[in-house]
């Protein structure tokens, strides 16, 4: 449907084109996700593997809403936004961005398969596989967030002061792992942008009239 294609275009611009999020793109993304979740409940929409991925993409914006809630409620206990609220909101936004980028890349890859390998890829493009992929992505990002939250908690509790003992070792391992994961996430984000541009470049010129 045209509305779903517009929603995907909005999300590609929000996560894979813009260098950073802003209030306008975030608000448009939230409104688009809310409308898409309602639209996917319609009987007019064929619930295939692409629809499953788009549904999971729309649900990822719940994390943005939760980050706003954490800023308002956790921050209200102090003068302004508390460090805990700020860290939680930042991690939720990071999780939203990572889930969205990977799901958008999955949609792009599926479009590539539909365009160039329609019959060969049909056994792979199933609702069951799409749901499995979505669960794996959410699980990996949840583990990533758990690591970031652990690192933030250890920093806030002053575990760095304990140079010896299990607490100090845990802090060092957590800090190193979080830094490594952040670097890998940055590199993966660049690679996903390149791959998506290549995929849609190939699709565009394959369907354009010669």
Lowest mean pLDDT among 64-68, 98-102, 172-176, 202-206: 172-176
Instruction: Please check the confidence at residue 176 and state whether its pLDDT lies above 70.
Output: yes
Burial class (CB in 10 A: 0-12, 13-18, 19+), 65: middle
pTM, full prediction: 0.88
Structure-block tokens of residue 197: 């541009």
Question: Would you state the pLDDT for residue 156?
Answer: 72
CA-CA distance, 15 to 12, in Å (whole number)?
A: 5
Region class of 80: left (phi > 0), else alpha (psi between -120 and 50), else beta: left
Q: What is the pLDDT of residues 59-92, one digit of tens each?
A: 999 999 888 887 777 655 555 556 666 788 889 9
- Per-residue tokens: 73: 């409620």
Which helix (H) or strand (E) segment holds residue 44: the answer is: none
Q: What is the mean pLDDT of residues 145-156?
A: 83
The pLDDT assigned to 150 comes to: 85
Residue 121 has pLDDT above 70, yes or no: yes
- Using alpha carbons, select from 106, 178, 94, 92 the residue that is nearest to residue 135: 106
């Amino acid at each position: 449907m045209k509305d779903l294609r517009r929603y995907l275009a909005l999300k590609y611009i929000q996560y894979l084109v813009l260098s950073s999020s802003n209030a306008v793109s975030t608000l448009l993304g939230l409104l688009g996700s809310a409308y898409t979740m309602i639209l996917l409940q319609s009987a007019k929409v064929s619930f295939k593997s692409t629809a499953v991925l788009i549904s999971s993409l729309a649900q990822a914006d719940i994390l943005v809403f939760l980050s706003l809630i954490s800023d308002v409620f956790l921050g209200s206990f102090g003068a302004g936004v508390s460090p805990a609220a700020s860290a939680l909101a930042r991690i939720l936004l990071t999780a939203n961005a990572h889930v969205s980028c990977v799901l958008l890349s999955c949609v792009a890859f599926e479009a590539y398969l539909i365009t160039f390998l329609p019959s060969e890829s049909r056994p792979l493009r199933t609702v069951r596989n799409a749901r499995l992929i979505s669960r794996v992505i959410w699980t990996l990002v949840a583990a990533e967030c758990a690591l970031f939250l652990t690192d933030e908690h250890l920093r806030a509790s002053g575990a760095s002061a304990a140079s010896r003992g299990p607490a100090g070792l845990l802090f060092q391992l957590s800090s190193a792992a979080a830094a490594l994961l952040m670097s890998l996430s940055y590199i993966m984000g660049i690679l996903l942008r390149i791959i998506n541009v290549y995929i849609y470049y190939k699709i565009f010129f394959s369907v354009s009239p010669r």
